[in-house]
Amino acid sequence: MDGIIPINKERKMTSHDVVAKIRRILHTKRVGHSGTLDPNVDGVLIVCVGKATKVSDYLMNSGKIYRGKITLGFSTITEDLDGEVIASKVLKIPFTDEELAKTFNSLTGEIIQIPPMYSAVKVNGRKLYEYARSGEEVERPQRMVSITEFHQIGKSEFDEKRGTQTIKFEVKCSKGTYVRTLAVDFGKKLGVPAVMSDLTRMSSGGFDLSHTITLNDLSEKVKNQDYSFLHPIETVFKNLITYNLSSDELEKVQNGAWLRLNMNDDQLLLKYNDRLQAVYKRDSETNLYRPEKMFLLED
């Protein structure tokens, strides 16, 4: 079994929990995900099965879309609602939509982020959350991320009693972006503590929520031998031109040989009898096409 399953992940489940459950449902070990979702975040989690695990890097490199909430007035050690409060400031009046829009705009484009201590980023072979849980301080690496869009949705909510303001937002961002940190930086721009108070991944790897299936529905479909939830691997390469191999060319591809093809595209999707065989990339020096990713799917 080879293919891609966009899962609508529930909250309180880790991404590893989802993978483990799908392994049991499908009775196969070769299952992985492309892009972790924290337990308190729901939405699109792309799961790859069989030879589709070879395209997880392509899926992870694609942009993602999230919708969520930023609450101004307090911050936590984890940058979301799971951690203890470490700073607070009662807001006397809410920030205006104009002030919020200016702040959103200031955090678009190429920006530098420092990942949160409670994250899986590794430093000297250990994950940051392992340092955090043991109370150790460690220098965190900066990373450049791309924020394509970051804007407010609807009106913000001001809680006069608690002195907090909550803003709904949507963000389109690159791989490696920590939306929790984006929320905290949003507050810093306004001079107040802030926290990510809600988050849903709306889109990832070219799949959005409308493409997803829940684990319960997946289990039912498998019981009924309905595998319509499985997207073919070539879905990832929908922008590539397909080249249909001859039997002689197939034999060369199976041996990893380079090909001389009368094509002008930098990348090609190679098929034989409508079955995906490989992605080949043109070598700029020789003008030959060389293997980039091998699949060799059989009938």
Q: Which residues are catalytic?
A: 38
Question: For 213, phi and psi rounded to 5 degrees?
Answer: -135, 145
Q: Which residues pair with 5 in a beta bridge?
A: 47
Q: Which residues, 6+ apart, have CB-to-CB distance to 129 below 8 Å? A: 117, 118, 119, 120
Nearest to residue 115, comparing CAs of 69, 68, 162, 179?
179
**129-153 per-residue burial string, b: 16 or more CB within 10 A, e: under 16:** eebbeeeeeeebeeeebebeebebe
User: How far is the C-alpha of 209 from the C-alpha of 67, rounded, in Å?
Assistant: 12
Q: Which of 261, 237, 279 is nearest to 61 (CA)?
A: 237
